[in-house]
Amino acid sequence: MAKNTNENKRIAVKHVRDRAKSAYEKDTQCYVCGTSQDLELHHTHSVTILLNEWAARTGYDISTDEGILAVRDEFIEAHRKEIYDDVYTLCNKHHVKLHSIYGKAPTASSAPKQAVWLANQRARFVNGETNTAEETIKSTGFSFAKFY
């Protein structure tokens, strides 16, 4: 019998992502710098935190595969805005940078700050630095990287 460890929570989030993935409208370029390479999706609301809070609220046991698979659609339905709307497509560099500032799993209260930070970073690029080096579309591979 699996215990409700962090490892299991990680698996629960993975199941949610696998399910939600196909419906994402990913951009073809980084929101900040416009590169088309190494793109990743960033949620301003950590899906891990949302899921854990929701499970605590509802009392659902998401510590097993069966447990999360049975309720993941319900979770996604209840969090469509956070999962599908409050997202940014970022290159790996800017994704890493954001998480270095706001933490690996940013708290919900930091979501507005993240939006401001991203807009500021973007303005910098628009007003000055241009995206010269990486014009070639080598790979538009898409991943969630190692962030929650």
Residues of the shown chain interacting with Zn ion in the complex, contacts defined by CB under 5 A:
30, 32-33, 42, 91, 94, 147
Q: Which is nearer to Zn ion, 33 or 71 (CB)?
A: 33
Residue of 25, 26, 42, 38 whose CA lies nearest to 131: 38
- Spell out the alpha helix ranges (H) of 4-91: 6-20, 47-58, 65-78, 80
Task: Please state, as a whole number, how many other Cβ atoms lie within 10 Å of the Cβ of residue 68.
Answer: 24
Q: Which is nearer to Zn ion, 8 or 48 (CB)?
A: 48
CB of 82 to Zn ion, least distance (A): 13
Q: Which is nearer to Zn ion, 13 or 32 (CB)?
A: 32
Q: Are strands 39-43 and 87-91 parallel, antiparallel or unpaired?
A: antiparallel
CB of 87 to Zn ion, least distance (A): 9
CB of 133 to Zn ion, least distance (A): 12
